[in-house]
């Protein structure tokens, strides 16, 4: 129903009005991955059985991604993220400015998104969790998914060490362990350094997203410094240069504190990205930049409404 409503809004021209209203703001889009749909089977009662593959719908199909990128290139001024943030705060932001970001570091960015971005000459920034990318440790949210657990949101509220204990318990009860990236788990494989370096040479940029993807407000100060500064140093050593913008894991209200913001600033970052939905003006706090999540979108007109901020407006009206 939501998608139908957003598609209708686009067809009625309201998306164009919303885009015009936000023309002097910076829109930052958030993706996690781009991957083809797995073959689906029908389970008991004829219900569709998706299995592990893209269980949360956070990866979109390559064909849909290309449709979206062509649309954004036509209707927005797509900027590299650091340039967009700099121009936002120095007052030189062009009309309808937009930046494209990805979180975590999945290899499907290289195999499916990067060829499209390169073909269309569109810049994007990927934020990397270094334990995942450099040490190939599966993200805890993917481990939960593999164990067929729906406790994701509840576990986000736990302290880091307690959450890890719960994840291990869930894996033990399910009799499954996410130990490699084979078979159905291949879509969750991390980028390799040589792939990242190739993309750096071709206009992509990369930034820090902590070491192990913890909720930063729930870890001790010593660990916080290691997660923020440690991930930055690791990426600088491996890549030579990284984005001056940081991305919070999860990034919802309560997932970071003023202490976290100070730690990020002390590490040398000029700005930080949340996952709070909305657009950004010069009045937006640089450590609290908003993004619009594009997970689960397709090539219907609804994606244009979402990117234009219509979903945010509808939520405000409903509230």
**What gap in Å lies between CA 44 and CA 31, rounded to an integer?**
32
Residue 42 has pLDDT above 90, yes or no: no
Q: Which two tokens stand for residue 316?
A: 């405000």
- Confidence grade of residue 41 (pLDDT, cut at 50, 70, 90): very low
Tell me which CATH homologous superfamily contains domain 2-14+23-138+181-318.
Answer: Glycoside hydrolase/deacetylase (3.20.20.370)
Mean pLDDT computed over 23-50: 71
Of 12 and 129, more confident: 129
- Whole-prediction pTM: 0.91
CB atoms within 10 A of CB 267: 16
**What gap in Å lies between CA 199 and CA 193, rounded to an integer?**
10
For helices 2-11 and 310-318, what crossing angle results, to 10°? 120
pLDDT digits (tens, 9 = 90+) for 263-303: 999 999 999 999 999 999 999 999 999 999 999 888 888 89
- Confidence grade of residue 55 (pLDDT, cut at 50, 70, 90): low
Mean pLDDT computed over 211-238: 95
Residue 317 has pLDDT above 70, yes or no: yes
Comparing 72-86, 214-228, 301-315, which segment has the lowest mean pLDDT?
A: 301-315
The mean pLDDT of the chain is 89
**What gap in Å lies between CA 287 and CA 290, rounded to an integer?**
9
**What gap in Å lies between CA 109 and CA 102, rounded to an integer?**
8
Each domain of the chain, given as residue ranges in start order, spans: 2-14+23-138+181-318, 139-180
pLDDT digits (tens, 9 = 90+) for 13-33: 788 888 888 899 999 999 999
């Amino acid at each position: 129903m939501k998608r139908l409503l957003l598609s209708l809004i686009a067809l009625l021209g309201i998306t164009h009005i919303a885009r015009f209203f936000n023309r002097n703001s910076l829109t930052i889009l958030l993706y996690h991955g781009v991957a083809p749909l797995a073959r689906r089977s029908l389970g008991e009662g004829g219900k569709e059985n998706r299995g592990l593959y893209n269980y949360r719908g956070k990866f979109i199909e390559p064909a849909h991604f290309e449709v979206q990128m062509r649309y954004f290139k036509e209707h927005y001024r797509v900027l590299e993220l650091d340039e967009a943030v700099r121009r936002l705060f120095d007052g030189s932001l062009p009309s309808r400015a937009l930046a494209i970001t990805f979180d975590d570091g999945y290899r499907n960015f290289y195999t499916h998104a990067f060829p499209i971005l390169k073909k269309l000459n569109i810049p994007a920034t990927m934020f990397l969790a270094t334990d995942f990318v450099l040490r190939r440790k599966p993200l805890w949210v993917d481990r939960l998914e593999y164990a067929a657990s729906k406790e994701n949101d509840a576990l986000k509220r736990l302290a880091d060490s307690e959450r890890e204990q719960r994840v291990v318990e869930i894996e033990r009860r399910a009799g499954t362990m996410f130990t490699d990236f084979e078979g159905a788990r291949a879509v969750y494989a991390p980028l390799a350094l040589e792939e990242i370096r190739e993309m750096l040479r071709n206009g992509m940029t990369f930034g820090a997203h902590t070491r192990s993807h913890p909720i930063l407000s729930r870890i001790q100060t010593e660990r916080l410094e290691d997660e923020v500064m440690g991930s930055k140093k690791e990426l600088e050593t491996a890549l030579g240069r990284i984005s001056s913008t940081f991305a919070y894991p999860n990034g919802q209200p309560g997932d970071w504190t003023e202490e976290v913001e100070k730690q990020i600033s002390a590490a040398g970052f000029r700005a930080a990205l949340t996952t709070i939905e909305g657009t950004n003006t010069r009045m937006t706090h640089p450590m609290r930049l908003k993004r619009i999540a594009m997970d689960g979108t397709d090539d219907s007109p609804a994606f244009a409404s979402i990117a234009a901020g219509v979903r945010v407006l509808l939520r405000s009206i409903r509230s």
